[in-house]
Amino acid sequence: MKISALIFLLLVFAAFSYFMARQKITTAYRQHKQKTKILTLPKYFGYVAALCSLLPALIVLFFLEAVEEPYITSEISTYITANEINASEDLDLYLNDIKGADTPEKIAALSDEKQVVYQRYHEIETVANRTITAIVLSISILLVIWGLRKINTDTPARKVFEKIIEGILLLAASIAIMTTVGIVFSVLFESTRFFGEVPIMSFMFGTEWSPQTAIRADQVGSSAAFGAVPLFVGTMLISFIALLVSVPFGLMSAIYLSEYASSTVRSVTKPILEILAGIPTVVYGFFAALTVAPFIRELGESMGMSVASESALAAGLVMGIMIIPFVSSLSDDVLSAVPQSLREGSLGLGATRSETIVKVLIPAALPGIVGGVLLAASRAIGETMIVVMAAGLAANLTVNPLEAVTTVTVQIVTLLTGDQEFDSAKTLAAFALGLMLFVTTLILNVIALHVVRKYREQYE
């Protein structure tokens, strides 16, 4: 049975359960003739009965569906090996051919040998499908019967119902944890496979990056090298340029807006800065690659310097401008957390505004500003589209901003967007880079959030 039909059936059972339970309680109330006491509304008994049949059945269903696919794959692989069918081509591709045959024409188009395998696959799939349907439906029916028998006027129905809802709410809140766990597991798992092939030391400290693995075993001259140092240096170079632009500009913008600008100027300027923050990064990437980079190259050439057409400078500059609103709004928050009394204390002594800002406000807000800069750094390191479009692919180990460099994120995208089989060292390398990226930004974020929180507590 199709999964959608099965779920529909479960819902029908639940609805049945709801009405039956409600009916039972309504009748019971009428017989007891308890008119004086405030009673739990019958609908809550209905909800409880319905959820009691629906939830366990759904959980079992999703679990079985999740294991069905791997089970079928393993069964069919065993069958192929046992019958010594020549699956010399890649096993995954072979299975895909068979699984993809969902119309009679496609089945007919399969080779005779594959037809046999397909028959077997079809059998296994049908059996698995029927088993799942049977298990889930029987669980549901049993629970409907059990629930309807058990439920009576003494059941604390509203409390039970609210506990269930609270549980669902908690589950929703826990998705954040599951996401983190999912990220950690997926990058960690693939990375360990990668480090099984490439030693971790040569990845972390190697200075040559050329992930082109040989396509055929007999091919020579193109052995892969996975030394990630050029990527780390490139990432840091571009991020550094970005911070060099965004931190002073962002901080000064925030200072001007919060300390000098009239409320009219503020009310016009702030939304404009927000627009800057709301423009998708792919737009910045396009602008960096097609307008800023050629401009910088021409400018450099007119001054007699050779500038790569995909210079780190262009990507870094545009990224820096993209982060200005981010730094500015963080600094704004931090500066406005400094108590007004400190400003007045300084102004009351006859300090000018700039003296007050430089000598009192900024020192007082420094931890918060540092936290903001760390968050901005984390943004710059993880930024993808600008560098994919405006920085190069060549892994040059250089700190010259006029040359082309590549970054961790660029390489992740390049390694994973080609037609790659999933197990090659190339795709696994992307996950190893992802692990590095995740760990670095995680550390920066944790430190930054901690610093900012401590800073806020100080003035609360």
Partner 1 sequence: MNESVLNELAEPVSRVISKPETEDSLNIEYTATVGQPLCDDAKFSTKNVDVYYADNQAIHDVTLDIGANEVIALIGPSGCGKSTYLRTLNRMNDTIDICRVEGQILLDGKDIYRKKQDPVLLRARVGMVFQKPNPFPKSIYDNVAYGPKIHGLTRNKSELDDLVEEALIKAGLFQEVKDRLHAPGTGLSGGQQQRLCIARTIAVQPEVILMDEPASALDPIATAKIEELINELKENFTIVIVTHSMQQAARVSQRTAYFHMGRLIEVGETDQIFTNPAHDLTEKYITGRFG
Partner 2 sequence: MNNTDIVRQSLKKRYLKEQIFKFMGMFSIATAILFLLILLVDITTKAMPAFSQTKIALPINLDAEKLGLDANSSTESMMNADFRLVIRAALLEQFPEVTKRKAKRELYSLTSMGAEFQLRDMVIEDPSLIGQTKTIEFMADDDVDAVIKGSIDRTLPESDRRVKDQKLSWIESLEKSGQISTGFNWNFFSNGDSREPEMAGIKGAVLGSLFTLLVTLALSFPVAVAAAIYLEEFAPKNRFIDFIEININNLAAVPSIVFGLLGLAVFINFFSMPRSAPLVGGIVLSLMTLPTIIIASRSAIKAVPPSLREAALGLGASKMQSVFHHVLPAALPGILTGTIIGMAQALGETAPLLMIGMVAFIVDIPQSAVDPSTVLPIQVYLWADSPERGFLAKTSAAILVLLFFLVAMNAIAIYLRKKFEKKW
The residues that touch partner 1, with contacts defined as CB under 8 A, are 258-259, 262-263, 336, 339-352, 355, 359-360, 363-364
Helix axes 157-197, 42-82, angle to 10 degrees: 30
Q: Which does 363 bind (CB under 5 to 8 A by kind): partner 1, partner 2, none?
A: partner 1
Query: Is the Cβ of residue 23 or residue 266 nearer to partner 2 in the bound state?
Result: 266
CA dist 399 → 171, 220, 232, 322, 441 (Å): 47, 32, 11, 22, 22
Residue 20: CB minimum distance to partner 2, A: 24
Residue 363: CB minimum distance to partner 1, A: 7
Residue 355: CB minimum distance to partner 1, A: 5
| Contact criterion met (CB below 8 Å) for 85 and 32 | no
Query: Is the Cβ of residue 342 or residue 447 nearer to partner 1 in the bound state?
Result: 342
Give the separation between CA 424 and CA 32, rounded to whole angstroms. Answer: 72
Helix axes 425-458, 362-382, angle to 10 degrees: 160
Q: Count the Cβ atoms, other than its own, within 10 Å of residue 80.
A: 19
Query: Is the Cβ of residue 280 or residue 350 nearer to partner 1 in the bound state?
Result: 350
Residue 452: CB minimum distance to partner 1, A: 16
Give the separation between CA 287 and CA 243, rounded to whole angstroms. Answer: 19
Query: Is the Cβ of residue 68 or residue 208 nearer to partner 2 in the bound state?
Result: 68
Which amino acid, 375? L
**Burial class of residue 167 (count of CB atoms within 10 Å of its CB; 0-12, 13-18, 19+):** exposed
Give the separation between CA 127 and CA 9, rounded to whole angstroms. Answer: 20
Q: Which does 449 bind (CB under 5 to 8 A by kind): partner 2, partner 1, none?
A: partner 2
The encoded tokens of residue 81 equal 């090996």
Residue 112: CB minimum distance to partner 2, A: 27
Which one, of 349, 373, 370, lies nearest residue 359 by Cα? 349
Residue 443: CB minimum distance to partner 2, A: 11
Q: Which does 129 bind (CB under 5 to 8 A by kind): partner 2, partner 1, none?
A: none
Q: Cα–chain-centroid distance for residue 323? A: 20
Q: Which does 74 bind (CB under 5 to 8 A by kind): partner 1, partner 2, none?
A: none
Query: Is the Cβ of residue 271 or residue 305 nearer to partner 2 in the bound state?
Result: 271
| Contact criterion met (CB below 8 Å) for 60 and 136 | yes
Query: Is the Cβ of residue 20 or residue 187 nearer to partner 2 in the bound state?
Result: 187
Beta bridge partners of 302: none
Long-range residue pairs from 70-77, CB within 8 A, at least 24 positions apart, any chain: 71/128, 72/121, 72/124, 72/125, 72/128, 75/124, 76/117, 76/120, 76/121, 76/124
Residue 98: CB minimum distance to partner 2, A: 14
What is the DSSP secondary structure assignment for residue 349, as one 8-state letter?
T
Query: Is the Cβ of residue 147 or residue 434 nearer to partner 2 in the bound state?
Result: 434
Q: Which does 359 bind (CB under 5 to 8 A by kind): partner 1, partner 2, none?
A: partner 1
Q: Which does 438 bind (CB under 5 to 8 A by kind): partner 2, partner 1, none?
A: partner 2
Q: Which does 198 bind (CB under 5 to 8 A by kind): partner 2, partner 1, none?
A: none
What is the DSSP secondary structure assignment for residue 396, as one 8-state letter?
-
Q: Which does 262 bind (CB under 5 to 8 A by kind): partner 1, partner 2, none?
A: partner 1
| Contact criterion met (CB below 8 Å) for 396 and 404 | yes
Q: Which does 399 bind (CB under 5 to 8 A by kind): partner 2, partner 1, none?
A: none
What is the DSSP secondary structure assignment for residue 217, as one 8-state letter?
T
Secondary structure element (H or E) that encloses residue 373, with its range: helix 362-382
Query: Is the Cβ of residue 136 or residue 385 nearer to partner 2 in the bound state?
Result: 385
Query: Is the Cβ of residue 144 or residue 288 nearer to partner 2 in the bound state?
Result: 288
Residue 460: CB minimum distance to partner 1, A: 14
Residue 340: CB minimum distance to partner 1, A: 5
Query: Is the Cβ of residue 185 or residue 459 nearer to partner 1 in the bound state?
Result: 459
Residue 172: CB minimum distance to partner 2, A: 4
